[in-house]
Structure 1
Amino acid sequence: MKTSASAPVRQRWTVSDIVVASTLAVASGVIFWGWNVSYHAVSTLFIAYPPTASLVGGMWLFPAVLGALIIRKPGAAIYCEMVAAAVSALLGSQWGLSVLLYGFLQGLGAELILLLFLYRRFSLGVAVLAGASAGLAGGITGNWIANYYQYDAVGTLTHIAGFSLSGAVIAGVLPWLATRGLAATGVLAPLKSRKAHREPAFGRADRAAVVHAP
């Protein structure tokens, strides 16, 4: 069958997509739970200026970008972030069910970047933008929607900027590297990201992966 780069991208989720995304999200939820437990101790490192504690906030964002880079289909970022948040809530979270709101909005933040590129570009730059966008959403949620933080104007902007920066690095660069590493082992063979390790850091996704992916 003749194919071309202009052929429509198949966006329907397969069984493999669902299984991998769910496994990734649940594992991330357990990591969330562990991070929640240790966060109070970690945050004391920023006691001199509490708003800068957001510089480690990317730990709550990585499932969105990692899921999006691995699954490469609409909804992956929101799904992985939401399931991870739900698992952490079930295991016990000091923030209760509010983590579901964070999960949705942070996942949406990453999802919008992938949508902007029509789910066709998964370069390092896109991953960084997705992580930063998820961080921006998390910062806005914490300061102006959930009203969890009570900083002054400068503190609020510092917190949001730190969250975005942390998202770009922890939830952007690291998931991109992880996806390439996983692809190199062959474990992503059933997925659209199976050739991620061969893609240029700042170029388009491998066209064969887009055209022939299940």
Structure 2
Amino acid sequence: MVDRTDSSTDNIITTTEPSPMGQSSKPENRRWRWTAADIAVGAALGVACGLVFWGFNFAYAWLSPLIGGILPGLASVLHPLWYFSGTLAVIILRKPGAAIYVNLVGSAAEMLLGNQFSVGFVFASAALQGLFAEIPFMVTRYRVYNLPISVVSGALVALEYGVYLMLFQYQGVAFLSARGIVHMVSELVGGVLIAGVMSWYLYRAIAATGALDRFASGRARFAA
């Protein structure tokens, strides 16, 4: 059920908030409940990211051969531009499932615009990337939001996507081959810098405009 209220219990800070013994779980359940505003903003964010994915499809087709010509596998450093949305979504919405929701909306928008990838590949990747983006936030029970957590989130998605590509797209490339190692290292570096660091500072830039003032992410103090 969608909760249309905006309670002060949504005001999450960047440190862990311990729950006193015997305290009711209702405030936390309410904090995790999706509101109509969460759904709308998540959809808008997903569509915006979908446009980025779609545009990057064309840029990557041109850049990949150039970068790969320098060092095979190096172009993987750019892949996080296809999956930064998951980490950004959780930081902004601060709700369980935010990364998966925004990724799937973004993928749907990308597919509607048209791309060269199969529907199954796009949506399976989106769901897996969203799940891995959420892991560090799950561990903190969606209470801690800062740059280190964002970096861990981006790195986990990079690890998942890098392995996914090796298993299902780069079957002829061995993990311990020169190209396999360069690919995985490049994927992780890109995941940290783009999906992790860039997403955090993009959130800060959006919050600074006042667009997120009604959300916990807009009211929270920034912590780098």
1:28–1:149 Cα change, 3 Å: farther
Alignment of 1:57 onto 2:79: yes
Given that residues 139 and 159 in structure 1 are in contact (C-alpha distance below 8 angstroms), is that contact kept between their aligned partners in structure 2?
A: yes
Alignment of 1:20 onto 2:64: no
Cα separation, 1, equivalents of 2:41 and 2:166: 33
Q: What is the CA deviation profile of residues 122-176 of structure 1, one whole-angstrom value per residue up to 9, with x for unaligned ones? A: 11000001011111111111111x2345323322233123212211111111111
Query: Sequence identity, in percent?
Result: 38
Q: Write the letter of the residue equivalent to 1:171.
A: A
Given that residues 93 and 217 in structure 2 are in contact (C-alpha distance below 8 angstroms), is that contact kept between their aligned partners in structure 1?
A: yes
Report what 2:115 is aligned to: 93
Given that residues 16 and 190 in structure 1 are in contact (C-alpha distance below 8 angstroms), is that contact kept between their aligned partners in structure 2?
A: no
Q: Write the letter of the residue equivalent to 1:187.
A: A
Report what 2:213 is aligned to: 189
Deviation at 1:96, TM superposition (A): 1.9
1:34 counterpart (41, 55, 58)? 55
Give the structure with higher Rg (CA).
Answer: 2
1:158 counterpart (178, 182, 194)? 182
Cα separation, 2, equivalents of 1:89 and 1:27: 13
Provide the secondary structure at the position in 2 that maps to 1:47.
helix
Alignment of 1:199 onto 2:222: yes
Alignment of 1:70 onto 2:92: yes
Q: Output the aligned Cα RMSD.
A: 1.9
Provide the secondary structure at the position in 2 that maps to 1:190.
coil
Q: Write the letter of the residue equivalent to 1:184.
A: A
Cα separation, 1, equivalents of 2:181 and 2:97: 29
Q: What is the CA deviation profile of residues 3-45 of structure 1, one whole-angstrom value per residue up to 9, with x for unaligned ones? A: 8863643100111111111000011101101100121111122
Deviation at 1:50, TM superposition (A): 2.3
Report what 1:170 is aligned to: 194
Deviation at 1:106, TM superposition (A): 1.0
Alignment of 1:132 onto 2:158: no
Given that residues 136 and 164 in structure 1 are in contact (C-alpha distance below 8 angstroms), is that contact kept between their aligned partners in structure 2?
A: yes
Given that residues 66 and 179 in structure 1 are in contact (C-alpha distance below 8 angstroms), is that contact kept between their aligned partners in structure 2?
A: yes
Q: What is the CA deviation profile of residues 178-212 of structure 1, one whole-angstrom value per residue up to 9, with x for unaligned ones? A: 1112212211012120124x2221xxxxxxxxxxx
Deviation at 1:79, TM superposition (A): 1.1
TM-score, normalised via structure 2 length: 0.82
Cα separation, 2, equivalents of 1:184 and 1:58: 24
TM-score, normalised via structure 1 length: 0.85
Cα separation, 2, equivalents of 1:161 and 1:119: 28
Q: Write the letter of the residue equivalent to 1:13.
A: W
Report what 1:179 is aligned to: 203
Question: How many residue pairs are counted as aligned between the two chains?
Answer: 198
Cα separation, 2, equivalents of 1:67 and 1:193: 11
Given that residues 105 and 141 in structure 1 are in contact (C-alpha distance below 8 angstroms), is that contact kept between their aligned partners in structure 2?
A: no
Q: Write the letter of the residue equivalent to 2:206.
A: L
Given that residues 136 and 161 in structure 1 are in contact (C-alpha distance below 8 angstroms), is that contact kept between their aligned partners in structure 2?
A: no
Q: Write the letter of the residue equivalent to 1:123.
A: N
Unaligned 5+ segments in structure 2 are 1-8, 10-16
